[in-house]
């Protein structure tokens, strides 16, 4: 997680401006965003998305345990409702969606074009060394080896046509 002070520093360096000035501007900007959201219930930030205040469907529930935790001790478990009337909902904007898709595309990509006619025993021996691309530990799904980063791509037959 990045903190505001780190982002302020990076912006200050990028713009060639004193970090304290950047910090004051961003603090006031965030304050104004909060005021606007509280007053109007909606806020849209180009490139990021939209915030909307809405009611909570049901109150939050918490569990309280009182008494002793010794063996055979008396304990009482109670559930209490914590009223929570408002919630801030966030919807990603198209620019943020695109950035997230680009950022996480590689790690979530599934590959299915594995040639299972090759010698699996030999393949597993090679795989014991880890992924041929990055050296990561492989997982096995049935008779298919999968790298957490590259999926099944390192094991696909590159010579097969569509």
Q: What is the pLDDT of residues 88-144, one digit of tens each?
A: 889 999 999 998 888 877 555 555 555 556 566 666 676 677 777 787 887 766 567
- Asked whether the beta carbons of 92 and 108 are under 8 A apart, the reply is no
Residue with tokens 């060639």: 16
Residue with tokens 């478990």: 77
Residue with tokens 């393949």: 123
Q: What is the pLDDT of residues 15-50, one digit of tens each?
A: 999 999 999 999 999 999 999 999 999 999 999 999
The full set of domain ranges for the chain reads 1-40, 44-93, 109-155
Q: Measuring CA to CA, which residue among 162, 118, 160, 116 is closest to residue 142?
A: 116
């Amino acid at each position: 997680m990045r903190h505001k002070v780190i982002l302020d520093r990076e912006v200050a360096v990028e713009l060639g401006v004193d970090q304290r000035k950047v910090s004051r501007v961003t603090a006031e900007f965030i304050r104004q965003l909060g005021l606007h959201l509280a007053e109007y219930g909606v806020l849209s930030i180009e490139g990021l998305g939209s915030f909307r205040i809405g009611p909570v469907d049901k109150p939050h529930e918490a569990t309280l345990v009182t008494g002793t935790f010794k063996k055979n001790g008396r304990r009482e478990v109670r559930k209490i409702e914590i009223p929570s009337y408002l919630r801030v909902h966030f919807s990603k904007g198209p620019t943020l969606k695109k950035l997230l898709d680009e950022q996480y595309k590689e790690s979530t990509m599934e590959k299915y074009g594995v040639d299972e006619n090759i010698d699996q025993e030999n393949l597993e021996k090679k795989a014991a060394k880890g992924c041929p691309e990055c050296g990561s530990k492989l997982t096995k799904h049935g008779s298919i080896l999968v790298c957490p980063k590259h999926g099944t791509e390192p094991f696909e037959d590159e010579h097969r046509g569509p």
